[in-house]
Amino acid sequence: MICKFYLIYYCLVTLCYRSRTAVAPLERMKILLQVQNPHAIKYNGTIQGLKYIWRTEGLRGMFKGNGTNCARIVPNSAVKFFSYEEASKGILWLYRQQPGNEDAELTPLLHLGAGACAGIVAMSATYPMDLVRGRLTVQTDKSPSQYRGIAHALTTVLREEGPRALYKGWVPSVIGVVPYVGLNFAVYKSLKDYLVKSRPFGLVEDTELSVTTKLACGAVAGTVGQTVAYPLDVIRRRMQMGGWKHAASIVTGEGKSKSALEYNGMIDAFRKTVRYEGFRALYKGLVPNSVKVVPSIAIAFVTYEVVKDAVKVEMRISE
């Protein structure tokens, strides 16, 4: 049983690698659109931007930062799994301390809280790698100084900007977890309940939804959650670039200088972004971010079928 569990876990980690690698060009395009200098625009949209990267940086340019993104998977998943289990136990213990709840079990709302706690802990534990991944993604061959990899980037940031720099943008990241997880959960449950009860267009033959339908519900829920929390993601990326003197394509405030704009916190970052670029700047990169959902879900479904056949069990899609 233990071996089967680890096999499933290994396959799910492999799924993450494959799905992230498949959409890596779109992920890089999203980050470049989020942080590019508004006075020296090189990327005017998803298609034009991908063509520009291909023309100027080639195939390798499409996947910059993907190695760091994939390297985060194992520690992030491990911390998230452990944190969720511990948070669930702690929340349930507190809930049972209330009169009349001595034999209570976790409700969907409490599961949501445990999931949010696990997401925040896992994100915080691997946040320095996320910051490095963002900078490696933005870096081009014409950058005056190059990060040569994950370790070199981490040591360079520590040496030039100090330990606190590794957590630039952490606050909007934490705040973004709440609406993302909450909406993801609420939309997924609502869609699933609607499909079970109404069975529109013949999508469902009985009360148990198929894996494809659940994945589709998950895709819609994830898209809604990401869209609502997206401005916080933009601010996080911009704060991560602040203070990086060698950035070749980062946002600036006044003038046409390509040096990084320093922010005095999340509110200041919001204020300066809207002031100099308008409200729409908070949604830069939303298109490639939304488009990547489709291939990710397709890969998830194929991998699900392969894993199910390999371990001879019916894996349950978590609610």
- Residue bearing tokens 């942080």: 35
83 vs 21, 76, 78, 95, CA distance in Å?
26, 10, 8, 18
297 — pLDDT class (breaks 50, 70, 90): low
Domain assignment present for 53: yes
pLDDT classification of 172: cutoffs 50, 70, 90: very high
Residue 318 lies in a domain: no
With 70 as the cut, is the pLDDT of residue 73 above it?
yes
Does residue 319 lie within any of the structural domains? no
Question: Considering all CA atoms of the chain, what is the largest pairwise distance in Å, rounded to the nearest integer?
Answer: 66
Among candidate residues 180, 184, 164, the one with its CA nearest the CA of residue 172: 180
| Tokens matching residue 255 | 């003038």
Place of tokens 């969720």: 84
Residue 197 lies in a domain: yes
Give the pLDDT confidence of 138-161 residue by residue, as tens digits. Answer: 887 766 667 888 899 999 999 988
Q: Which CATH number characterizes residue 253's domain?
A: 1.50.40.10
pLDDT for 279 equals 93
Q: CA-to-CA distance for 262 and 239, rounded, in angstroms?
A: 8
- Asked if 28 and 292 count as a contact pair (C-beta separation under 8 A), the reply is no
Q: How far is CA 136 from CA 13, 37, 240, 255, in A?
A: 22, 17, 11, 25
Give the HSE-up count for residue 66: Cα atoms under 13 Å, Cβ half-sphere: 20
pLDDT for the residue numbered 16? 63
Q: What band does 318 get if pLDDT is binned at 50, 70 and 90? A: very low
Stated pTM of the model: 0.81
Is 317 a member of any domain? no
47 domain-assigned: yes
- pLDDT category at 215 given cuts 50, 70, 90 is confident
Is 11:31 a contact under the CB 8 Å cutoff?
no
Question: 232: which residues sit within 8 A by CB, 6+ positions away?
Answer: 172, 173, 175, 176
Average pLDDT over residues 241-249: 66
Whether 218 is in a domain gets the answer: yes
More confident residue, 158 or 198: 158
Has residue 255 been placed in a domain? yes
pLDDT band (50, 70, 90) for residue 42:
confident
Tally of structural domains, the chain: 1
Q: Which domain holds residue 73?
A: 2-311
Q: How far apart are CA 184 and CA 224, in angstroms?
A: 7
CB 53 within 8 A of CB 29: yes
